[in-house]
Structure 1
C-alpha cells in the first residue's frame, strides 16, 4: 500500500509537457560506439594517480588503442578503437590495479552509466581434486553453479596429453565470502573439490571477502582471527 501511494504521489510531479518521447531506432554508428565501450568501477575506493592507472592498463591489456575518461572518482569509461580489442579485454578479466579490483561492464545503448551493477564480477575458477573420470561439461557446470551464475565452461588439455581439467567463468556476488570448495558425493566416496581463482585481487583470509586485508577486517578483528 505504501508503494502504491508513493507511485501515486510521484505521478502528480509530472505533467504531460514534461514527458519526452524519443522515437526511432538507435543509429548503427551509435550502436557500434556502445559495443566498443566499457564502464569500469573499482570495488573499493583507492587513491590513485589517473595517468599511472591508464598507463598500467595499457600494458596489462596489451593495447593503447582506447581512451579513458573518469566519470567520477573510481568510475571510468573506456572507449576502444576496435570492438575485437574490447571483447578480448572483457573476456580476459578480471582486472586489478594495485590489487584493487576493477569491475568492467559492457555498455548498453539504453542504460544510463550510473545504473550498472558493479557488485558482481566474473572470475575464472579451476576445480582441484575433481577425478579425471568426472571431468565433463555438465559436472563442471554443476559445481560452478554453487558459486554464482555460470557464464562459460572450458575443458582444457593439460600438457601434451589428452588429460583434461575443467574450469568455469562465474559471475559472483562480491559481497559474499569466497568459497574454498565443495563436497562431491560419488557412488562409493565423498571428495573435497577445491576452488582456485584466477587473477584474484586482495581479499581477507579471515572473513573471506574481497576488498580488504585481514588486518583491516571489521567482522573478525585481526587479534581474534588467529592469523596474527
Structure 2
C-alpha cells in the first residue's frame, strides 16, 4: 500500500511537470504476460552495487568473486561504475550466492538484489543489507528462537533465526540474519532485564566490510568520518573509540562496554560519577535535565 501511494504521488508529480508536453497517446499498454523463458532468465540474474564506489581492478574483482562464490558459471556485466549484473547458469546458484552473503571486495560491501521482471535496473534499493549477527552473553537457559528474534529486532527486520550447537555439546548459541539500514551506525549490544538481574548482551557481526571506529557506520574509515573529525576521535592518541574490531564475529573478546559491565575493566572516578542506573529514554531532553 505504501509503495502504491508513493507511486501515485510520483505519477502525479510527473504529470504536473510534463504539463502540455504529453497527452494520452504517450501512454503505452504492454499486453500479455512475461514468457517463462524470460522469467527464468530474471531468476538467474542478480544486480550488485558497491555501497561505496571504489576504483577497482575489474579482472581481479571477477576472479575473487568466482573464488568466493565457488562457481565459474556466471557472467558479469558493468551497468555503470560500481553497478553490475551477474547472470548465472542456474537459478539454484543465483539463490545460493544471494542468500549466503554479505559479500565484499577489498573491504568494500557489495549489495546484491534479485532481478525482478517488472523493475527497472535503476529502481532497486541498495540502502540496506542482510547480515548474520551473533548474540554474546545470553545465558544458556534463555537461548530460544523467540528470545533471539526479540534481540535481533532491536537491529532491524529479522529475516531468519538459527540456533547452533557449540562443538559436540547440546549447548546452543543463537544468531539471526537481520536487515540493517546502512545509513545507521552499527549497534554494540543491548541491556536485558531478567526477573532478578540485568545482563549485557553483545552483537557481533559476520563478514563485516570496513567501517568507521568513530561513528560506527559502514562505508568509510575514521580518517574520513564527516560526523566526528579524526583529530577529535582520540584514535591518534590511542584513546578508546565508540567502535572497534570487537564488532566482528571473528573477534572473541568482549567490547570495552562488556568488560566494564562484567567488571573486567576498571572505571575511572569520573566515569563512576556519571553512569546512570539505566539508559536514558529517547524521549528525555538531556539538555533540560
- TM-score, with length taken from structure 2: 0.76
The answer to whether 1:154 aligns with 2:166 is: no
State the structure with bigger RCO (CA 8 A, min sep 6), 1 or 2. 1
1:88 to 81, 91, 96: 96
Q: Secondary structure of 1:178's partner? A: coil
Work out the CA distance in 1 between the residues paired with 2:148 and 2:31.
45
Identify the residue that residue 221 of structure 2 maps to in structure 1.
213
Work out the CA distance in 1 between the residues paired with 2:195 and 2:19.
61
Work out the CA distance in 1 between the residues paired with 2:88 and 2:15.
40
1:51 to 48, 53, 59: 59
Work out the CA distance in 2 between the residues paired with 1:25 and 1:162.
51
2:128 to 100, 106, 120: 120
Deviation at 1:161, TM superposition (A): 1.1
Q: Which runs of 5+ in 1 are unaligned?
A: none
Q: Secondary structure of 2:176's partner? A: strand
Deviation at 1:11, TM superposition (A): 5.4
Deviation at 1:126, TM superposition (A): 0.3
Aligned residues: 227
Structure exhibiting the larger radius of gyration computed from Cα positions: 2
Deviation at 1:10, TM superposition (A): 3.7
1:141 to 149, 166, 174: 149
Identify the residue that residue 41 of structure 1 maps to in structure 2.
49
Q: CA RMSD in A?
A: 1.6
Work out the CA distance in 1 between the residues paired with 2:13 and 2:100.
47
Which 4+ stretches in 1 moved above 2 angstroms? 2-14
- TM-score, with length taken from structure 1: 0.95
Deviations along 1:173-197, one digit per CA (max 9) or x if unpaired, are 0000000011111101111110000
The answer to whether 1:170 aligns with 2:178 is: yes
Work out the CA distance in 1 between the residues paired with 2:149 and 2:49.
28
The answer to whether 1:184 aligns with 2:186 is: no
Q: Which runs of 5+ in 2 are unaligned?
A: 1-8, 237-289
Deviation at 1:6, TM superposition (A): 6.7
Deviations along 1:55-87, one digit per CA (max 9) or x if unpaired, are 110011110100000000000000000111111
Work out the CA distance in 1 between the residues paired with 2:17 and 2:102.
43
Work out the CA distance in 2 between the residues paired with 1:128 and 1:61.
28
Work out the CA distance in 1 between the residues paired with 2:14 and 2:76.
39
Stretch deviating more after TM superposition (150-159 or 15-24): 15-24
Residues 5 and 149 of structure 1: is their aligned pair in 2 closer, same or farther, counting only changes over 3 Å?
closer
Residues 23 and 225 of structure 1: is their aligned pair in 2 closer, same or farther, counting only changes over 3 Å?
same
Greater share of helix residues, 1 or 2?
Answer: 2
